[in-house]
Amino acid sequence: MARTARKWFDKSSDVNPRNMRLGMFAWLIQRISGLYLVIFLMTHIGAIAQASLGITKGLGAQAFDAFRNPFYAGGPTAPILDLILLGIVAFHGLNGIRIVLLDLGFGIRKHKLWFWVSMVIAIAASAYVIFLGLPLMGSG
Amino acid sequence: MFRNVLMWLLQRITAVLLVVFLGIHIWTTNFATNWATLLRAGVDLSLLVLALFHGLNGVRAVVLDFGIGHAARRVLSTSLVMIGFITFLFAIYGLWPLLFP
Chain-chain contact of B19 with A93 (C-beta, under 8 angstroms): yes
Phi, psi (deg, nearest 5) at residue A106: -90, 130
Annotated domain spans of chain A: 34-72, 75-140
> A26: part of which helix (H) or strand (E)?
helix A22-53
Q: How many angstroms separate the CA atoms of A106 and A98, rounded?
A: 9
Contacts of B82 in chain A (CB under 8 A): none
Summarize pLDDT for B14-32 with one digit per residue, the tens.
999 999 998 888 877 776 6
Query: Which pTM was predicted?
Result: 0.83
Top pLDDT among A135 and A92 is at A92
Topology annotation, domain B2-99: 3 helical TM bundles of succinate and fumarate reductases (1.20.1300)
Contact criterion met (CB < 8 Å) for B90 and A41: no
At CA A73, angle to CA A85 and CA A128, rounded to 5? Answer: 30
Sign of the torsion formed by the C-alpha atoms of B90, B96, B97 and B98: positive
CA distance linking residue A64 with residue A67, whole number of Å: 5
Here the ipTM equals: 0.87
Q: How many CB atoms lie within 10 A of CB B92?
A: 13
What's the pLDDT tens digit per position in B63-83?
A: 998 888 889 999 999 999 999
Closest by Cβ to A41, choosing from B26, B51, B94: B51
- As a whole number of angstroms, the distance between CA A22 and CA A126 comes to 22
Q: What is the pLDDT of residue A111?
A: 82
Return the pLDDT at A133: 66
Q: Residue A50 contacts by C-beta under 8 Å, 6 or more apart in sequence?
A: A61, A64, A68, B94
| Cα of B39 to nearest chain A Cα, Å | 18
Three-class DSSP category at B36:
helix
| pLDDT, position A140 | 44
Predicted local confidence at residue A84, as pLDDT: 82
